[in-house]
Chains A and B, each alone.
Chain A
């Protein structure tokens, strides 16, 4: 393990940016604010790039660089350090986070320039980069949890950024609390980990698992893995805790792009990647991850079909794509999962930025039914958006194709996967292509359906917004070329075409997940099926939304109950409300407080004893009637009784 003493600069710069903007931003002019924030995050990105190249200089097998900053909690053998770790996995992740983060900081200059709380926005955004880089670079799970909760906080603050709108403030709170439910599992996982491994350091945990993995209780490891996964379902919006993510779209669109698409929500995937050895030792937990992921991918995709809000479609699409990533993790194709995480960060961030550009142009309208025909007004947005859509649909040679195909193939070929998962993957891919092109067609093609006063405002966004989009569009195309599967590589005569997986290999090498071997022909066939599926989805969308625009309505009417079910997102929010939220509130109010606290403990117990004292004294006071003769009589009576008792006994 070598040291890399400047890694702390990556979180440090955004922290400084946050402090400057947070404390003085109110009085600073806008250019200063966004310069401070942008310089901070671009510096971080630069440091990340330098660190990345420093990492490359190291022999592949020893690519673990650490930056111990100081000892945070130290009590009787429990030592938790503030220590940063750079290995291929965190290097990829930190590049994505700071890179995409930096682009979105630039984009935000344009998107937020009219907002009165400009300084607050950039302060939060910097705080987010700070927390996220802590999460990514953490060398132990508690420090990761610091980042984990920190990004949750930023998410809360940014979703509820326009807090005057009660719905938005509520969405922020919902996100935070749902995440906390997940974190509850996460912390239980940490605690169990501490007891089992006696350490919380990732490197040391991996060492223990490599050398003594067989001696540890599988049940305990499975429990740890499941607890941590509960945390991941919260942060990464998987069933059953995904409900916050669609509502999170209440935040400013660049925030949705950065936090709720590209980076924060992938933290759960990253966490499993970090602890891949642990998961590899807990097959049951992996199966659960794969099952939950498959279900999430599919159901979220179905929910995306019926949404009319452009950001909601993307939100459900994110949930669905995260399902893909977890599916990869669940079947042990860790590199594929991280690969999809990266490409998804590019094209999903781009999709959100594109939708932000559209919303910006449409003066805040998000309903796709009021859009249409925007292609001619905003060509840059349209072409970049289309690139990203092709990428997410898995059309070669766009980035999404390589990563998604690898996941779908792995879900079949892995010994932990199976044909069911593969089928879910393919069907979801069809649905994905369908709803994404539905979105494109409804937004950019056809007639413009927007209200008149909006219509003549429609314009292409300024360069400060389009340039980040173009950069992301380029990345959405070429980003996948670093992880070309060997069969395709061979076609172009390239050896070791999957340099991405090779780069990450040291991190995942010890997991030893077995993949069945199939002939190249099989692999080609499977590839053809998934690409064919995507094309089919596009065709259906084309037919329904370009050719026969009357059909969607008719179909919806025909399968009305199903449509309604999908449109209302399977009523999950309502079920949660009536099953958990409302009962807990009522029990707290009526039973715990009004009955137990006020009536039983305070009423009967405390004031009751006070009252009983008062009552007794009220009775006893009749004895004290002021008549001396009565006193004497009772006195004599007492003497006689005592004497009688003494004589008789």
Chain B
């Protein structure tokens, strides 16, 4: 249980709630104290979560630091949490970004600070919970719980159309989650029918065998919930509104972590639970992902508002993630996962950077700026590095992710090609690779209009450069941006085992899948990992050299 007897995951997950309780007792006029408390609590949380990183056994594909306690035992609802290679870095990203966002709101949020910090802390708990939950009910509870603080963060501290954006965000996501809830219940009853006892546990539900038709429907239900969250084209329109209206802190969390819930959900639940449907749907999802890449980029290009531009660029980046995940091979999924982290860092940093200028000028329109590199050289330099990371310049984090995604997609295309001379997948890769052109087009054009050219707007003549607080934020982010770019193995080595396990689950052959069901129906004995290993099909496609 846990780590050396300590319920480490629970500590990390619920520490923010304790922080929120502490904040509750602070006088609401003590804004700075409230924020300091929030930052200290979340920083401690981050430091504790580093134990995950160091104590993580990279070779093991299984869940680690597992905690399992009965919750509503007779219904099979357990408090069941654990971390594996897939969730490890998402958890770390969450604990890393939260203190940074609260710090970034030091000046930006000056009213209702108490509520703000409490919401941020609750949001952190919900996000962490969703990443570590291994029981579907627990997952669903955290998944829905995330909505509420976010809804208020957008709705209370947002821009002019904040109510519209918040409601849109909420309803959009809720629609998807309801379908997911129905699907979860269906799996639950199917499990009962096949095994004779109720369980919502992740590992238990894998044993359930569905017909192909059932899988398609269930995958569609899960898929819609996750696709909205990703967001995939054409379910993306809540994102620009939510981003534009949300305060900087909200945008950072939204882009940095909440969007990852969708792709994480695909990887953790939708893909391994319904392998046959996943494979059948893959070409369509890849097509949508590619459309997203190009569409997001082109629409980003014509935006007038920097924040909206970055919001649309997120759609493009998340398209890469989806493309990688649905390549079903190690490089693709690792690339997708890495791209999730990268997007969290780079786009998070971009939103923070926009926040910096918004605090000074209270506008985000590109046309209001120009020549800022002259007055704010450090700001311009940081913005440039983050921009380059976002457009995938080798040496920074974005490239490694994008490259691995393309390698994965290419290998998948090649495997398809060898199988039935199907060239459709190649088109995906070629089109996806154009993303590196579009990325440069919209980001550098925006950069030029904001930072280069002549300094003409008199309001910009005396803008102060980054202050110490902001510099600290960006140095922290840049460290990781460079680190992943220069030494991605830190990341890759720890995710490989878990991803291979997921791939094996997704790439299981039809016969093996249905035989598994038959064998287990005969004797409802829990099969061990070893036995599962026996029926696991080898990943087709030669790996590397």
- Does a CB–CB distance below 8 Å link A and B in the complex? yes
Residues of A within 8 A of B (CB): 22, 26, 70-79, 142, 145-146, 149-150, 153, 156, 160, 163-166, 169-170, 173, 176-177, 180-181, 183-184, 187-188, 191-192, 194-195, 198-199, 204, 584-585, 587-589, 592-593, 596-597, 601-602, 605-606, 610
| A–B complex contacts, Cβ < 8 Å, 23 sampled | A71-B489, A76-B500, A76-B543, A77-B543, A77-B544, A79-B545, A149-B394, A149-B399, A150-B393, A163-B453, A166-B454, A176-B444, A194-B407, A194-B411, A585-B301, A585-B302, A587-B298, A589-B302, A593-B298, A593-B299, A597-B299, A601-B234, A605-B237
Asked if residues A169 and B448 are in contact (CB atoms below 8 Å), the reply is: yes
With A176-B440, A191-B406, A588-B298 already in contact, the answer to whether A75 and B334 are too (CB < 8 A) is yes
Q: Shortest distance in angstroms between A6's beta carbon and chain B's nearest beta carbon?
A: 20
Q: Is the interface of B mostly helix, strand, loop or mixed?
A: helix
Asked if residues B299 and A588 are in contact (CB atoms below 8 Å), the reply is: yes
Report chain B residues within 8 Å CB of A592: 295, 298-299, 302
Asked if residues B406 and A153 are in contact (CB atoms below 8 Å), the reply is: no
A-B CB proximity, top 5 nearest: A77-B544, A77-B543, A169-B452, A76-B330, A163-B452
Of the candidates B371, B404, B437, which one forms a contact with A177 in the assembled complex, judged by CB atoms under 8 Å apart? B437
Q: Shortest distance in angstroms between B34's beta carbon and chain A's nearest beta carbon?
A: 35
Q: Shortest distance in angstroms between A80's beta carbon and chain B's nearest beta carbon?
A: 9
13 more contacts with CB within 8 A, not counting A181-B437, A194-B407, are: A75-B492, A78-B545, A79-B545, A164-B371, A176-B440, A177-B440, A183-B436, A188-B430, A188-B433, A195-B411, A195-B414, A199-B545, A585-B302
Can you list, as one digit per residue, whether each of B481-507 has a CB less than 8 Å from chain A (1) or not (0)? 000001111001100100010000000
Asked if residues A164 and B454 are in contact (CB atoms below 8 Å), the reply is: yes
Q: Which residue of B lies closest to A581 (CB)?
A: B441
Of the candidates A78, A169, A192, A601, which one forms a contact with B453 in the assembled complex, judged by CB atoms under 8 Å apart? A169
Which of A26, A71, A76, A149: most chain B Cβ within 10 A? A76
Report chain A residues within 8 Å CB of B93: none
Report chain B residues within 8 Å CB of A199: 544-545
With A79-B545, A163-B451, A164-B371 already in contact, the answer to whether A187 and B436 are too (CB < 8 A) is yes
Asked if residues B299 and A153 are in contact (CB atoms below 8 Å), the reply is: no
Report chain A residues within 8 Å CB of B237: 597, 601-602, 605-606
Report chain B residues within 8 Å CB of A191: 406-407, 410, 429, 433
Which parts of B435-461 form the interface with A (CB within 8 Å)?
436-437, 440-441, 444-445, 448, 451-455
Q: Shortest distance in angstroms between A539's beta carbon and chain B's nearest beta carbon?
A: 46
Complex Cα distance, B542 from A160, in Å, reads 45
Complex Cα distance, B329 from A153, in Å, reads 32
Report chain B residues within 8 Å CB of A601: 234, 236-237
Asked if residues A173 and B444 are in contact (CB atoms below 8 Å), the reply is: yes
Asked if residues B395 and A150 are in contact (CB atoms below 8 Å), the reply is: yes
Complex Cα distance, B492 from A183, in Å, reads 25
Q: Which residue of A lies closest to B430 (CB)?
A: A188
Can you list, as one digit per residue, whether each of B291-302 has a CB less than 8 Å from chain A (1) or not (0)? 000010011011
At the interface, yes or no: B388 with Cβ under 8 Å from chain A? yes
Complex Cα distance, B299 from A373, in Å, reads 54
At the interface, yes or no: B369 with Cβ under 8 Å from chain A? no
Of the candidates B299, B371, B434, B544, which one forms a contact with A78 in the assembled complex, judged by CB atoms under 8 Å apart? B544
Of the candidates A76, A145, A169, A605, which one forms a contact with B234 in the assembled complex, judged by CB atoms under 8 Å apart? A605
Interface residues on B, range: 35 or more
At the interface, yes or no: B331 with Cβ under 8 Å from chain A? yes
Asked if residues B437 and A198 are in contact (CB atoms below 8 Å), the reply is: no
Report chain B residues within 8 Å CB of A605: 234, 237
With A177-B441, A584-B298, A606-B168 already in contact, the answer to whether A145 and B394 are too (CB < 8 A) is yes
Complex Cα distance, B452 from A70, in Å, reads 37
Report chain B residues within 8 Å CB of A142: 394, 403
Asked if residues A78 and B407 are in contact (CB atoms below 8 Å), the reply is: yes
Q: Which residue of B lies closest to A196 (CB)?
A: B414
Q: Shortest distance in angstroms between B49's beta carbon and chain A's nearest beta carbon?
A: 24
Report chain B residues within 8 Å CB of A76: 329-331, 334, 496, 500, 543-544
Which parts of B410-435 form the interface with A (CB within 8 Å)?
410-411, 414, 429-430, 433-434
Q: Which residue of B lies closest to A149 (CB)?
A: B394
Can you list, as one digit per residue, whether each of B208-244 has a CB less than 8 Å from chain A (1) or not (0)? 0000000000000000000000000010111000000
At the interface, yes or no: B374 with Cβ under 8 Å from chain A? yes
Complex Cα distance, B430 from A72, in Å, reads 25
With A73-B488, A164-B452, A199-B545 already in contact, the answer to whether A187 and B400 are too (CB < 8 A) is no
Complex Cα distance, B381 from A642, in Å, reads 74
At the interface, yes or no: B358 with Cβ under 8 Å from chain A? no
At the interface, yes or no: B138 with Cβ under 8 Å from chain A? no
At the interface, yes or no: B140 with Cβ under 8 Å from chain A? no
With A164-B455, A169-B452, A606-B237 already in contact, the answer to whether A75 and B444 are too (CB < 8 A) is no
Q: Shortest distance in angstroms between A446's beta carbon and chain B's nearest beta carbon?
A: 37
Complex Cα distance, B371 from A587, in Å, reads 29
Complex Cα distance, B472 from A195, in Å, reads 43
At the interface, yes or no: B257 with Cβ under 8 Å from chain A? no
With A589-B302, A597-B299 already in contact, the answer to whether A184 and B433 are too (CB < 8 A) is yes
Asked if residues A198 and B436 are in contact (CB atoms below 8 Å), the reply is: no
At the interface, yes or no: B70 with Cβ under 8 Å from chain A? no
Report chain A residues within 8 Å CB of B493: 74
Report chain A residues within 8 Å CB of B545: 77-79, 198-199, 204
At the interface, yes or no: B533 with Cβ under 8 Å from chain A? no
Report chain B residues within 8 Å CB of A149: 393-395, 399
Report chain A residues within 8 Å CB of B374: 164
Report chain A residues within 8 Å CB of B542: 77, 198
Can you list, as one digit per residue, whether each of B276-291 has a CB less than 8 Å from chain A (1) or not (0)? 0000000000000000
At the interface, yes or no: B100 with Cβ under 8 Å from chain A? no
Can you list, as one digit per residue, whether each of B508-545 has a CB less than 8 Å from chain A (1) or not (0)? 00000000000000000000000000000000001111
Report chain A residues within 8 Å CB of B434: 184
Report chain A residues within 8 Å CB of B234: 601, 605
Report chain B residues within 8 Å CB of A204: 545
At the interface, yes or no: B172 with Cβ under 8 Å from chain A? yes
Report chain A residues within 8 Å CB of B487: 70, 72
Complex Cα distance, B400 from A169, in Å, reads 28
Q: Shortest distance in angstroms between A160's beta carbon and chain B's nearest beta carbon?
A: 6
Report chain A residues within 8 Å CB of B429: 188, 191
Asked if residues A164 and B410 are in contact (CB atoms below 8 Å), the reply is: no
Q: Shortest distance in angstroms between B494's beta carbon and chain A's nearest beta carbon?
A: 11
Asked if residues A173 and B544 are in contact (CB atoms below 8 Å), the reply is: no
At the interface, yes or no: B137 with Cβ under 8 Å from chain A? no
Can you list, as one digit per residue, whether each of B46-57 has a CB less than 8 Å from chain A (1) or not (0)? 000000000000
Of the candidates A74, A173, A195, A198, which one forms a contact with B448 in the assembled complex, judged by CB atoms under 8 Å apart? A173
Complex Cα distance, B403 from A427, in Å, reads 43
Report chain A residues within 8 Å CB of B329: 76
Q: Shortest distance in angstroms between B320's beta carbon and chain A's nearest beta carbon?
A: 13
Asked if residues A187 and B544 are in contact (CB atoms below 8 Å), the reply is: no
Of the candidates B171, B331, B388, which one forms a contact with A153 in the assembled complex, judged by CB atoms under 8 Å apart? B388
Q: Which residue of B lies closest to A194 (CB)?
A: B407
Complex Cα distance, B156 from A580, in Å, reads 44
At the interface, yes or no: B341 with Cβ under 8 Å from chain A? no
Q: Shortest distance in angstroms between B218's beta carbon and chain A's nearest beta carbon?
A: 24
Of the candidates B301, B371, B437, B500, which one forms a contact with A180 in the assembled complex, judged by CB atoms under 8 Å apart? B437
Asked if residues A606 and B489 are in contact (CB atoms below 8 Å), the reply is: no
Asked if residues A26 and B377 are in contact (CB atoms below 8 Å), the reply is: yes
Asked if residues B394 and A146 are in contact (CB atoms below 8 Å), the reply is: yes
Report chain B residues within 8 Å CB of A75: 330-331, 334, 404, 492, 496
Q: Which residue of B lies closest to A185 (CB)?
A: B433
Complex Cα distance, B371 from A165, in Å, reads 10
Report chain B residues within 8 Å CB of A79: 544-545
Report chain B residues within 8 Å CB of A166: 452-454
Complex Cα distance, B452 from A183, in Å, reads 25
Report chain B residues within 8 Å CB of A606: 168, 172, 237-238
Asked if residues A593 and B302 are in contact (CB atoms below 8 Å), the reply is: yes
Complex Cα distance, B496 from A302, in Å, reads 56
Report chain B residues within 8 Å CB of A587: 298
Q: Shortest distance in angstroms between B334's beta carbon and chain A's nearest beta carbon?
A: 5
